[in-house]
Structure 1
Amino acid sequence: MLLAIFWTNTLSIARLAALQTASSSLQDTFESISMGLKELPTAVARVKSFYTLVDMKNELASGFTSYPPPGNKAKEGMAINIKNVSFTYKGSQASRDAITDVSLSIRAGQLVVIVGANGSGKSTLLRLLVRLYAPVSGVIELDGHPIEEYNVNDLRRAIAHLSQDHKLLPLSVAENIGVGCLEKSDDMTAIKDAAVLAGAEGLVKKFERGFETVLTPAGTAQMSFNASGNEALTAEFNKMEKSADVSGGERQRIVAARTFMRLFSDDINLVTVDEPSSALDPQGECELFQRLRNARHGRTMIFVTHRFGHLTKYADLIVCMKDGKIVETGTHDGLLKSAGEYARLYNIQASAFTS
């Protein structure tokens, strides 16, 4: 009798445990379905957005002329001639064009610095040069040919563009830097050299996995069962999904390293730099600009900046813009003597340190 009671109780306990397990599993299933239903509209929207992008027509038609044109050697620099160019952003409610009737000549290999207040058209001018947009009117010539005649892919291979808008990719640190120069993307020596030039080597050293650290992971790994009792598996899962803690200045250094990586390519003839150091301290910005200047090697290099001290004294040509127009061009000393818009902006900055 006692044995029968024992087996009855044992079976009851086993059935209860199985029932609890099944109940827990069923609850997890319903929670997963509920979560999936909540995320379904977002997922559908993302898929729709993806196919919309795939089907989107590029309004900037590619030309048929290869770049560089015959006779233009690598690292020789790009000559730029801008004639009466105007541009307005689509849908803009502004009372004026982003840039209006701009004309400018830049010789191959020059170091050019574009300055001016916010909204003066500095960044817009660079975006036209790197073929992100096309002028509404006027002509841009690169090495003697209208910009629209060039094959877009050839042209962009010849340009290194560093801006504050560039993002980190859900890849490792090494891969984020290596994509700057695909032919050397597996060259760890070049990747480490680029990191040093950008001042990012200290950042990489603080990561446990160094250059293998994945930045902003895409979150593709999913735990399909309750692994709370498996510490090793949970730790491995958390490591896969762990996001690197990167500040704004550190992001800018990694993006800058990507640009230095591009400069290892012999294809680059033009380097455009648009306010890439907003999150860097003054010393970091000064060192970055100095290293970019040193990496020029005869290429044409154009900077857009609000802060004059680290660049304008070294410029072959300073372009001062205001309200979408070029109001002055010249050298640092010459423009100070002219006592115009450049001198006014420069003196405002200088007064903060002398008053």
Structure 2
Amino acid sequence: MKIRHKYPRRQHKEQSYHDPLSREDVWFYRQKPHRWGFAVLRPVRWIQITSVSLIVFCAILQMVPARIIGYFIDDVLRNRDMTNFVFLIILMAALPLIEAGLYFVGRACAQISSQYGLAVLRDILFDRLMRSDQRFFQNTPPGEIMARLTGDLDMVRYYWAWLLNVTFEQTALFIIGGIYLFFLNWILALTSLFLTPLIVYLASRYSKEIRPFWTSIRRQFEKLNTVVEENITGNRVVRAFVKADYETERFEVENDAYRNMNQDATMVSSRYHPLLNAIGTAMSIPVLLVGGILVINGTMSLGELVTFNSLLYVISSPARQAGFIIGDLQRYTVSAEKIIDMLGMDPEIKSPQQPDSLSSPAAYNRQTIRPSRPMRIINWFRTAILRRDPLPAYLGYPYAAYTERKARALMKDDLDALITKALAHEQLDLTPLRGEIEFRDVSFDYRKGEQKHPVLEDISFTIKPGEVIGITGATGSGKTTLVRLLARLYDPSRGEVRIDGKPLPEYDLRRLRANIGVVTQEVFLFSDTIEGNIAYGRPHMPFADIEASAEAAQAADFIARTADGYGTIIGERGTGLSGGQKQRISLARALAIRPPILVLDDTTSAVDAHTDIAIRANLKQLDWQPTTIIIAHRIASLRHADRIF
């Protein structure tokens, strides 16, 4: 699968350009986090350039009052020259207002461009996450994933919104201000730069020492997030086993480790920040000493010395800020490299030809989406100032994120129309499969690093269309693994799985999974209405079909007893419902898509025997005949199966 935002680029640079969001091109930016950061903002680069330019110009404007003060001392106080007195007073009063206005525009541009980049990155990363292999989630702690999507992304936004401007500001101040100091008096300028080599040496050492600390801090933050996520998700288990004290101590251990690592990093910073700050302050001592001698000798006027000393901050300020800037740049580098790694994740399980995702600008025309306010400002800048075509709305808010943020503001029919239009444009083949299943000499090993855990060995069987198959066996014998192989969440280590005589790798993944209704033994319900959970696979399905699916799953009676019926909002993961109720809603969700292949993995383990019998009877009376695989521990649940393995 290739997700590519259509960045404008010149024809003659087409071969050298590397898309910073593309899985195929992101490798180019490994170990180049700053180049990657600039590349992500390429569609709004003129806004970012405007921001940096205005901030730098404001820094230069701050040098003007020092020159005016020098003129007052030499011309007004000593020579009584009042020629430009009124003009300079007005200029002194106007400069702060001009500077404030330009600084406001510069900061606003930085926020617009950084929020644009953050929105695009967040959407692309979430899309990568949704299309990652099951193996990725098996081997990656949830806390690490959350750290990437929160703390690391926020650090990148901070880099765009603030750190980039400060770095350019202090660099330009040092270079331009230093040149001007040489123009005023080259002897004093050389004197002020006497300690510069020491600053460069200390800054270089600090940069090398602090980076490993920030890398360790990010890793520990991921561990801390994992502990929090596990305890939020498993709070019922924690309470049931009276382990709150143990989990609190476990959190304290990870939190103390996180605190200690931050303290170690602070100790490194504490060694360098005072030194850099002291050097910046000490620069004025040799300047005043040498400058006083020059004034006494008549080589330099008093006004020029005051001007020079007032402008000495152009050297001392970058020296003082160097420690903070370097520390933050190292933090950004660590976060950016983690995000680049996540962008470069390449799933092992792919469709034969990966189509564009819904979050790709090429997926379909989204002119019905109203641009966000930041995007409207960006487009005004492009059309009014740069005389260029406006950017489409989806560049600011791709489809997936747009539905997340704006769904509450849209009518349901409008949202369904967008989804239908997207599917129609992608021309996704939704032709139902016949449902013939064949496993040919299938073996499978779970892998974690270099370790392999064999689960299945040379499994072969064939299931005819419309046949009902029961599978039973001891815990850990690989029953659920068969389901995962069928839905191609994993690929077999050896052998192959076929549907309708065609190997699974030859199917488009979405078509394959759209034809398989799976009810897992670990039921997951979304924090939504009961109607929304049942219609999850077909969000535009008629309400009558939702009711029919609930009836078939024996869920209609208890749904009618809830406060708002199908409009009742259930908590995350089905909080507030019993295990049997969650299983029945999960079954209704699978039946709602009318799949040619239906897999029931221990679906009725939490319901009573009477309800179980009623569900089995309803499944036999469906108005279509799916190929059904029933996995169960209770033989009674399999008595209507055509065959039992």
TM-score greater than 0.5 by the shorter chain: yes
Aligned to 2:443: 86
| Structure in which a larger fraction of residues adopt helix | 2
- Does the C-alpha gap of structure 1 residues 293 and 90 become closer, same or farther in structure 2, counting only changes over 3 Å? farther
Aligned to 1:116: 473
Q: Deviations over 1:233-291 (max 9, x none)?
A: xxxxxxxxxx962111111111111122122xxxx221111111221111122222222
User: Does the 8 A contact of 2:527 with 2:572 survive in 1?
Assistant: yes
Q: CA offset at residue 169 of structure 1? A: 0.4
Q: CA offset at residue 95 of structure 1? A: 8.4
Q: Does 1:297 align with 2:397?
A: no
User: Does the 8 A contact of 2:559 with 2:565 survive in 1?
Assistant: yes
User: Does the 8 A contact of 1:76 with 1:109 survive in 2?
Assistant: no
**What is the TM-score when the length of structure 1 is the normalising length?**
0.61
State how 1:105-184 maps to structure 2 within 5 Å.
105-184=462-541
Aligned to 2:146: 46
- Does the C-alpha gap of structure 1 residues 276 and 310 become closer, same or farther in structure 2, counting only changes over 3 Å? closer
Where structure 1 has 5 or more consecutive residues not aligned to the other structure, the ranges are 1-41, 67-72, 219-242, 320-355
Q: Which has the higher contact order (CA 8 A, sep 6+)?
A: 1
Amino-acid identity (%)? 29
For this pair of structures, how many residues does the alignment match? 242
1:296 and 1:58 mapped to 2: Cα distance?
37
2:543 and 2:342 mapped to 1: Cα distance?
33
- Does the C-alpha gap of structure 1 residues 48 and 110 become closer, same or farther in structure 2, counting only changes over 3 Å? same
- Does the C-alpha gap of structure 1 residues 60 and 93 become closer, same or farther in structure 2, counting only changes over 3 Å? closer
Q: CA offset at residue 93 of structure 1? A: 10
Q: Deviations over 1:86-121 (max 9, x none)?
A: 001122999861101111111222111111111221
Aligned to 1:206: 561
User: Does the 8 A contact of 2:447 with 2:453 survive in 1?
Assistant: no
2:476 and 2:526 mapped to 1: Cα distance?
29
Secondary structure of 1:176 counterpart: helix
2:441 and 2:143 mapped to 1: Cα distance?
46
Q: Of 545, 557, 561, which aligns to 1:190?
A: 545
- Does the C-alpha gap of structure 1 residues 54 and 214 become closer, same or farther in structure 2, counting only changes over 3 Å? farther
Aligned to 1:23: none
1:93 and 1:114 mapped to 2: Cα distance?
31
2:504 and 2:439 mapped to 1: Cα distance?
10
Q: Of 574, 578, 586, which aligns to 1:247?
A: 578
Aligned to 1:234: none
Q: Does 1:57 align with 2:412?
A: no
- Does the C-alpha gap of structure 1 residues 217 and 96 become closer, same or farther in structure 2, counting only changes over 3 Å? closer
Q: CA offset at residue 57 of structure 1? A: 3.0
Letter of the 2:609 counterpart:
P
User: Does the 8 A contact of 2:553 with 2:587 survive in 1?
Assistant: yes
User: Does the 8 A contact of 1:65 with 1:149 survive in 2?
Assistant: no
- Does the C-alpha gap of structure 1 residues 318 and 92 become closer, same or farther in structure 2, counting only changes over 3 Å? farther
User: If you compute each CA radius of gyration, which structure gives the higher value, 1 or 2?
Assistant: 2
1:57 and 1:301 mapped to 2: Cα distance?
33
Letter of the 1:249 counterpart:
G
- Does the C-alpha gap of structure 1 residues 87 and 189 become closer, same or farther in structure 2, counting only changes over 3 Å? same
User: Does the 8 A contact of 1:64 with 1:149 survive in 2?
Assistant: no
RMSD value over aligned CA atoms?
3.2
Q: Does 1:262 align with 2:593?
A: yes
State how 1:31-42 maps to structure 2 within 5 Å.
none
1:65 and 1:80 mapped to 2: Cα distance?
24
Q: Does 1:311 align with 2:634?
A: no
Aligned to 2:310: none
- Does the C-alpha gap of structure 1 residues 130 and 307 become closer, same or farther in structure 2, counting only changes over 3 Å? same
Q: CA offset at residue 45 of structure 1? A: 6.8
User: Does the 8 A contact of 1:164 with 1:275 survive in 2?
Assistant: yes
1:98 and 1:46 mapped to 2: Cα distance?
30
- Does the C-alpha gap of structure 1 residues 215 and 94 become closer, same or farther in structure 2, counting only changes over 3 Å? same
User: Does the 8 A contact of 1:74 with 1:269 survive in 2?
Assistant: no
- Does the C-alpha gap of structure 1 residues 93 and 121 become closer, same or farther in structure 2, counting only changes over 3 Å? farther
Q: Of 445, 460, 476, which aligns to 1:103?
A: 460
| Structure in which a larger fraction of residues adopt strand | 1
User: Does the 8 A contact of 1:82 with 1:141 survive in 2?
Assistant: yes
- Does the C-alpha gap of structure 1 residues 170 and 193 become closer, same or farther in structure 2, counting only changes over 3 Å? same
2:556 and 2:444 mapped to 1: Cα distance?
40
Secondary structure of 2:488 counterpart: coil
